[in-house]
Chains A and B, each alone.
Chain A
Amino acid sequence: MKPGLFSRFIIEQRLFWSIFLGLGFFVLLGIFCAHYMETEGHYITGMNNQIIWGLPHIFAVFMIIISSGVLNIASLSSVFDKEKYKPLAPLSGLIAISYLIGGLAVLVLDLGRPDRLIVAMTTYNFKSIFAWNIFLYSGFFLVLLIYLWTMLDYEIKKYSKSMGIFAFVWRIILTTGTGSIFGFLVAREAYATAILAPLFIVMSLLYGVAIYYAYHSSICWLNKTKISQTMLDNFKKLMIIFLFTNLYFLILYHITNIYISKHLDYEIFLLVSGGIYTLLFWVGQFLIGIVLPLILLIFNKNNSPLSLLITSKIILLGGLFAVAVIIIGGQAYPLNIFPDHQIIESAFYDNVIHSYVPSIYELGLGIGGLTLATLIILIGIANFKFIPKDI
């Protein structure tokens, strides 16, 4: 990094420690929730033998795809030679690594046996996409560290472009892997389609831009610096492009499912008759996640930092809903074990739409992961020169 172009986070000491302690409290709360879930068992959560993956997985997947997507800001400069994004690249790398750590922490702490992490790290079944993801996530962590180093150390700056290209390819594969965790589940009608992989990639790009802007503008606000109108317009354009791409893949995913006869019942459930899940899809994923931000971005001619920040947060909220619809909605619909029969009775809930009420412990763990990521970002920007002086 060229000395003088970047600075540390300048913040009043008392305010810094207030934020630090506030975030630290939620991190500790998350650790407590995870510990309680582990010692008592998962029966205290909303998850059960029907809804197998719950709120921790929503947070974890959301954070991991954000980690991949936020690096797009760096990729725009190193891979696509967009010079104006160059000053933003180090911060995007820092957010990426922080969200990866936060997401993985949530994922690991929700395991039935988190104490066996060493087993997961040393015993692999290479046919499992999950095992591949363990490699992809830990590899991404290393790639990000090296990429950040090449960006921050002026002596090895010349390698940052090639490292950026490598990180770009890695994160595309990583998000493909994350989408494929669901795409490879042949028995569940909501999943079992390769479209989930590109859908996850475009989701990551959208949420990545939104989270980058949310952090950057907050830092600027605390630092009392301004983002230029050109950059604001650039962010706005990126968000509009990625929102339309998301809309396209979302429509494609559902049309594909409607076209596949054996998936049709699930589509009717989700889009029409699924109660809370239908509401979650139309209001959460579709309206809040895509339509409302598009209206705000396209029809609001006055693109101010605050209005863009509000839109970013709406996009992120919609993102959480989108991941929730995919993860919970997909499990809520019962397995079709007997296609030619109707299940009348079962002691194992084979014939009902499963309900899910997340517990406070799952929420605590998820929020703990988010605040851990923010805490790492805070420590990073306070100690290293990540913030561009002029954009």
Chain B
Amino acid sequence: MKSRSNHFGKINRRDFLVKSISAIAVVYIIPNIIETSIAAKQKSEKVSSKTKWGMHIDVTKCVDGCSACIQACNDENGLYGFGRPETDPQWIRKIKLRDLKTNEISVLPMLCQHCENPPCCDVCPTGASFKREDGIVMVNQHTCIGCRYCMMACPFKARSFVHENLTMQLTNSPRGKGCVESCNFCVNKIDHGSAYTACEEACNKEGGGVISFGDLNDSKSKVNAAIKKSPGRRLRVDLKLKQKVTYTGI
């Protein structure tokens, strides 16, 4: 039987289908696969306790009204609100304080303090809240059941519960309704070799250079240099949680 394609002289149905699918693959699928494979690319070496990620925050440099760190965090992790501030997620926020003794006013960014003894991990029934060998405290989005006990336990109100259906999540930051989330020191960036968290980068560019992130075990790291220059303190030291975020200037 004569193929219908011969009426067109050049192409039959099978060729048409094969070529169409190939074209779709070239245009839509392959770039996605490449992107995903890059995103899913594992760090060449295993996470080890030789590295201890930490952060130093110089409150004296923090600018009132600046929200560069918040915007950068939102962009990096695909966070967005629904115009409902009581339920919208916040991984980093700005707080303005007045010293009760000196009346001095200061502003500072507040985020997960990545405790060495994290109460959120202690109370999590499934172990979804966990601390990596390198000290990063984060939530396994696959085993979080949304009980919110970690939020009850966190002394710094650093965690948010996803109250609404999400769309357009980023591949580097898996998120979903019904789970708890918090700052993870831009774990995806760090694991792929970056030495900067998104908030630090933004603060250096647009803010006052308040944030210094790095390896606390490396004496030459920028976090240790910042700590040497202006030693800070941990918040709520009475709780003995040994946070890896220190503040100076308050």
Instruction: Give the docked Cα–Cα distance between A127 and B97 (Å).
Output: 35
Does chain A have a CB within 8 A of B124? yes
Which of B89, B147, B155, B180 contacts A186, CB < 8 Å? B155
Interface centre among A123, A181, A338, A345 (most CB of B within 10 A): A338
Whether the pair A112, B123 counts as a contact (CB closer than 8 A) is no
Interface residues of A in 78-117 (CB under 8 A from B): 111-114, 116-117
Which label, helix, strand, loop or mixed, suits the secondary structure of the A interface? loop
Does chain B have a CB within 8 A of A43? yes
Whether the pair A348, B144 counts as a contact (CB closer than 8 A) is no
Does chain A have a CB within 8 A of B230? no
Number of interface residues of B (CB under 8 A): 56
Which of B119, B127, B148, B239 contacts A112, CB < 8 Å? B148
> For residue A42, which residues in chain B have a CB less than 8 angstroms away from its CB?
87, 161, 163, 178
Which of B122, B180, B235 contacts A128, CB < 8 Å? B122
Interface residues of B in 153-189 (CB under 8 A from A): 153-157, 159-165, 177-180
Whether the pair B178, A346 counts as a contact (CB closer than 8 A) is no
Whether the pair B125, A112 counts as a contact (CB closer than 8 A) is no
Instruction: Give the docked Cα–Cα distance between A341 and B99 (Å).
Output: 5
Does chain B have a CB within 8 A of A229? no
Q: A64 CB to closest chain B CB, in angstroms? A: 14
Does chain A have a CB within 8 A of B84? yes
> For residue A131, which residues in chain B have a CB less than 8 angstroms away from its CB?
125-126
Instruction: Give the docked Cα–Cα distance between A50 and B90 (Å).
Output: 12
Instruction: Give the docked Cα–Cα distance between A181 and B122 (Å).
Output: 12
> For residue A347, which residues in chain B have a CB less than 8 angstroms away from its CB?
85, 90, 93-94
Whether the pair B179, A130 counts as a contact (CB closer than 8 A) is no
Q: A353 CB to closest chain B CB, in angstroms? A: 14
Which of A112, A124, A337 contacts B146, CB < 8 Å? A112
Which of B93, B99, B157 contacts A335, CB < 8 Å? B157
Known: A335-B157, A341-B97, A347-B93. A43 touches B152 (CB 8 A): no
Known: A41-B178, A337-B156. A111 touches B97 (CB 8 A): no
> For residue B122, which residues in chain A have a CB less than 8 angstroms away from its CB?
127-128
Whether the pair B126, A113 counts as a contact (CB closer than 8 A) is no
Whether the pair A123, B126 counts as a contact (CB closer than 8 A) is yes
Does chain B have a CB within 8 A of A125? yes
Known: A41-B164, A48-B87, A125-B124. A340 touches B153 (CB 8 A): no
Does chain B have a CB within 8 A of A265? no
Whether the pair B157, A124 counts as a contact (CB closer than 8 A) is no
Which label, helix, strand, loop or mixed, suits the secondary structure of the B interface? loop
Whether the pair A343, B126 counts as a contact (CB closer than 8 A) is no
> For residue A346, which residues in chain B have a CB less than 8 angstroms away from its CB?
93-96
> For residue B153, which residues in chain A have a CB less than 8 angstroms away from its CB?
185-187
Instruction: Give the docked Cα–Cα distance between A117 and B143 (Å).
Output: 10
Number of interface residues of A (CB under 8 A): 51
> For residue A344, which residues in chain B have a CB less than 8 angstroms away from its CB?
96-98, 105
Instruction: Give the docked Cα–Cα distance between A281 and B177 (Å).
Output: 34
Q: A387 CB to closest chain B CB, in angstroms? A: 38
Whether the pair A130, B156 counts as a contact (CB closer than 8 A) is no
Whether the pair B125, A130 counts as a contact (CB closer than 8 A) is yes
Known: A41-B162, A187-B119. A348 touches B93 (CB 8 A): yes
Whether the pair B145, A119 counts as a contact (CB closer than 8 A) is yes
Interface residues of B in 72-95 (CB under 8 A from A): 82, 84-87, 89-90, 93-95
Known: A41-B178, A335-B156. A123 touches B143 (CB 8 A): yes
Whether the pair B160, A337 counts as a contact (CB closer than 8 A) is no
Whether the pair A124, B125 counts as a contact (CB closer than 8 A) is yes
Does chain B have a CB within 8 A of A342? yes
Instruction: Give the docked Cα–Cα distance between A352 and B162 (Å).
Output: 22
> For residue A187, which residues in chain B have a CB less than 8 angstroms away from its CB?
119, 153-155, 236, 239
Whether the pair A331, B161 counts as a contact (CB closer than 8 A) is no
Instruction: Give the docked Cα–Cα distance between A112 and B156 (Å).
Output: 21
Instruction: Give the docked Cα–Cα distance between A338 and B250 (Å).
Output: 10
Residue of B nearest to A346 (CB): B95
Instruction: Give the docked Cα–Cα distance between A111 and B148 (Å).
Output: 8
Instruction: Give the docked Cα–Cα distance between A116 and B179 (Å).
Output: 11
Instruction: Give the docked Cα–Cα distance between A40 and B162 (Å).
Output: 11
- The 20 listed contacts between A and B (C-beta, < 8 Å) are A41-B162, A41-B164, A41-B177, A48-B163, A49-B89, A49-B157, A111-B145, A111-B147, A112-B146, A112-B161, A116-B143, A119-B126, A119-B143, A123-B143, A130-B147, A186-B119, A188-B152, A340-B101, A343-B95, A348-B93
Hey, which bits of chain B sit against chain A, CB under 8 A? 82, 84-87, 89-90, 93-101, 105, 110, 119, 121-127, 143-149, 151-157, 159-165, 177-180, 235-236, 238-239, 250
Since A41-B178, A348-B93 are in contact, a sample of 12 more A-B pairs with Cβ atoms closer than 8 Å, ordered by chain A residue number, is: A53-B152, A123-B126, A128-B149, A130-B149, A131-B126, A184-B123, A337-B155, A341-B98, A342-B100, A345-B94, A345-B96, A346-B94
The 4 closest A-B pairs by CB, nearest first: A112-B146, A112-B178, A187-B155, A125-B127
